Every structure is written in structure tokens, then in C-alpha cells.
Amino acid sequence: MTSAPTPDMTPAEAESVYFNNYPPPKSLPKHEALARAFVDYHVQANRRLVLVTSGGTTVPLENQTVRFIDNFSAGTRGAVSAEYFLQQGYAVIFLHRQFSLLPYSRHYSHSTNCFLDFMDEEPVPDVEGASESDHRPIVVRSEYQDQMRDVLRKYRYAKRNNLLLLLPFTTISEYLFELRSLAQLMRPLGSNALFYLAAAVSDFFIPSDRMSEHKIQSSELPEHLSQGQATDGSDIYTGGLEAQQPSRSKRLVIDLDPVPKFLHRLVDGWAPDGSMVVSFKLETDPNLLVYKAQTALRRYAHHLVIGNLLTTRKWEVVFVTPDAPHERWIRVPKSRRSKSISGSEAQVGLAEAKRAGDSASGETSGGQQGEKTTSEGVEIESLIIPELVLLHSNMIAKHSPQ
């Protein structure tokens, strides 16, 4: 049996082939037990629960992984969004790339300052007889007190009320096993379940029967040592070292297969009946963004695609839905946008204007209830999440017994 799904397979057949050829993650039973208890707790409370996926997935090049292909995602969208879902009263399962940004700690773990810059030793009392001690308490510096207190209180509230469950993954295979399992465990939630798929999922992978067992060597080996190593360009292995004439250097050739699009199985198989499924579409070409989002929506028959351009993702997104008005832009007002090294102000509105043939229109701007202003500007997630909650509320109302 092939280890890679083929285009002529049904979604169910592709699922069977893929998952039968990869061992489940060692952490899956533990994660399932935690998630089952978490879901049951919030079913009893009749609380809405969102699965937020966040960060990038890796594609190993060897079974004993030394090298892998990765995504650029740091998990910013997912971590920030999780905080705003909690603010809206949702419980959150945060399925994240290990060591990527986390809700609340993201304010300090990826700061331009070292986290130690936020702390100091308590000063020596200015009284007679006081002396320096090796055991003085550690305190937050005065200029960071208010901000850190606010973040700490929100984090403590979420933990104390069992509203946040953190589950890590690393590889594309681990991510897909976790997603399938969590979706099935969420079935008792019914329409109270929401899937917010913000993870940057790899589009390609290496089937297990073509993966090298050991580290791919960067130079030729003697024949008696080369068994199991990719030295001849054979399709058996992940990659091969091929001569590149007239140079003496070698090149690594990697043969990747497309990852099956399991969004269809999530919508029509894994997820609870009546639940809402939201995916993201990231593009770099303004001409393609809305078209690709619309295509994804038609192909997988879910409820919302949030489209964003790489260079403007912190300032604008587009909601593409199957219902009128079908396309709606959400933008942070220009005067309240953060400064971004990787962003391009000149591209704001370009995806909409290119498609419509005129200037950008029909946007939802800032100023909504719940928006968050930071020293870097308004976080666009503070505009996205309230809009999404309204859409979810409408879906729940449709599925509620009259």
C-alpha cells in the first residue's frame, strides 16, 4: 500500500492511507485525556469553546530528524487571538507549535527586551543599619508594573477558571493527529464549538517509505558505509546527492508530495454537527488573495475564510463567507496602525482595489468595543474576534431548538 494519498482517492480514503502510515505522537494519549476532561468541564458549563491552532509545522527530512523544512510563522496571530477569545468568554484549547508564542507570556517572551530587563532586586531600605543581602526579593520594575499586573491578572483568571489548555506539536504529522483527535473529542459541544485554524500548515511532506533513516550526508561515503544513505539520486530516499558539472559541489534533491487537504474531513466528518470552522489564507500577491479565499471556501464548504496579505496582515484582513455580502474587509485605521519592519503601507487596500477595479471600500474600521491599543498600535485581532463571535452567535441561534 502506498504511504502517500493520491488525487483519485476520496477524502476518507486519503485519511486512512495517511494516518495508517505514520505512528501517532507519543504525547497523544496524554493530550487526549487532558482535552477530554477540559471539554467535558465546559460542556457541563454550557460554555463556548474554540480550538485555536497556531504556529508553523515542520516537515522532517529524515526519520531520525536532523534536518527539516519549516514555516516562518511565530504564532503571533494565534496567541493574540486566543487572548481575545478568552476576553469574550470562550474556553480555549491552544494547539501550538512548541516554543512558539503563547497567550499572555507572548508580551514578554518575544519582547525586544530580555525578560530580565523587566525585573530588579528590591532596593535596600534607606534606614540605619540596613545592608545589602544575597536574598533580597525580586520585583517588577516600576515602569512595567501596570502593564504586567494587567497581563498577570488575565492569565491567572484563565488558569483559575480552567479556561485555557495548552497543547504543543512540532511536525505536520503530529499536528494532523492532534487536530483529528481534538475535533472528535469536541463533538459533545455541538454548535458551541468553534475551530480557528490559524496555524501555518505545511503544504508538502515526505512519505515515510521515501524518508532516509539517518542524517542525509553532505559528501560521498565509501561504498561499505553508504548503505541506507542517499548518494545516487534514487527515489527510494528523501533526497539524493547529484554531481553538478563542472563544479565539484553536490546538490540535494528532495521529492515532496502534497499534504492531503484534511479541511474537508474536519468539516464533514471530524467536527461536531453545527460547529463553526474558520480557516486562514495567506498570500503575497494582491491579485490572488480574494480569489484563493473564495476557492477554498467553495472547495471545503466551511463557514469563513480570513484572507490576509503577508505585507499587510497586521493592518487588514478580509472575511470571505458563503453568505452576502460575501467579502468584507476589516482594517485598523491608518492613524492607529503599528509600525512593521516587514509591512508595506502602500499595499493596504490593494487586494480589494485590484479585484474590484477601483479604490478600497466597504471596510470595517477600528473603534469597535473591545479593541486593544498598545504602544505599537491597535492589534487587529481586537477587531477580528468580536466580529467572529457575532457570526458564531448567529450560527448557534440557527441550530438552537425553537
pLDDT of residue 372: 56
- CATH number of the domain within which 87 lies: 3.40.50.10300
Burial class (CB in 10 A: 0-12, 13-18, 19+), 19: middle
Whether the per-residue pLDDT at 93 is higher than 80: the answer is: yes
Domain membership flag for residue 269: yes
Integer Cα distance of 338 and 375 in angstroms? 8
> For residues 375 and 52, which has the higher predicted lDDT (pLDDT)?
52
> For residues 218 and 192, which has the higher predicted lDDT (pLDDT)?
192
Domain membership flag for residue 248: no
Integer Cα distance of 258 and 263 in angstroms? 14
Whether the per-residue pLDDT at 225 is higher than 60: the answer is: yes
Residue 25: how many CB atoms within 10 A of its CB?
20
**Which stretch of 206-220, 257-271, 329-343 has the lowest confidence by average pLDDT?**
206-220
> For residues 86 and 358, which has the higher predicted lDDT (pLDDT)?
86
Integer Cα distance of 217 and 399 in angstroms? 57
Contacts of 293 (CB under 8 A, 6+ apart): 281, 305, 306, 307, 318, 320
Average pLDDT score over residue span 263-289: 96
Average pLDDT score over residue span 282-289: 95
**What are the CA-CA distances from residue 350 to residues 36, 51, 177, 292, 317 (Å)?**
44, 31, 38, 15, 12
**What are the CA-CA distances from residue 16 to residues 1, 64, 149, 201, 344 (Å)?**
11, 24, 49, 19, 43
| Counted domains in the chain | 1
Q: What is the pTM assigned to this prediction?
A: 0.88
Integer Cα distance of 138 and 135 in angstroms? 9
Query: Which of 325-347 are b and which e, b meaning 16 or more Cβ less than 10 Å from the residue's Cβ?
Result: eebebbbbeeeebbeeeebeeeb
User: Amino acid identity of 71?
Assistant: N
Burial class (CB in 10 A: 0-12, 13-18, 19+), 154: middle
Integer Cα distance of 329 and 345 in angstroms? 16
Domain encompassing residue 346 = 14-111+138-209+256-356+377-399
pLDDT of residue 220: 66
What is the grid cell recorded at 156? 491567572
Q: Is the peptide bond before 246 cis (omega within 30 degrees of 0)?
A: yes
User: Amino acid identity of 335?
Assistant: S
3-state secondary structure of 107: helix
Sign of CA dihedral 141, 143, 144, 145: positive
Average pLDDT, the chain: 87
Average pLDDT score over residue span 54-71: 92
pLDDT of residue 11: 86
Domain membership flag for residue 214: no
Contact of 380 with 314, CB cutoff 8 Å: yes
Domain membership flag for residue 236: no
Domain membership flag for residue 21: yes
Integer Cα distance of 122 and 148 in angstroms? 17
**Which stretch of 30-44, 134-148, 170-184, 216-230 has the lowest confidence by average pLDDT?**
216-230
Contacts of 234 (CB under 8 A, 6+ apart): 240
3-state secondary structure of 352: helix
Average pLDDT score over residue span 264-290: 96
Question: 193-197 and 49-54 as β-strands: parallel, antiparallel, unpaired?
Answer: parallel
Whether the per-residue pLDDT at 194 is higher than 50: the answer is: yes
Bridge partner list, 331: 316
Phi and psi angles of residue 273, each rounded to the nearest 5 degrees, phi first = -60, 135
Average pLDDT score over residue span 161-180: 97
pLDDT of residue 235: 37
Instruction: Name the most confidently modeled range: 20-24, 349-353, 388-392.
Output: 388-392
Domain membership flag for residue 391: yes
Contacts of 198 (CB under 8 A, 6+ apart): 52, 53, 54, 77, 78, 81, 280
Contact of 110 with 74, CB cutoff 8 Å: yes
pLDDT of residue 130: 58
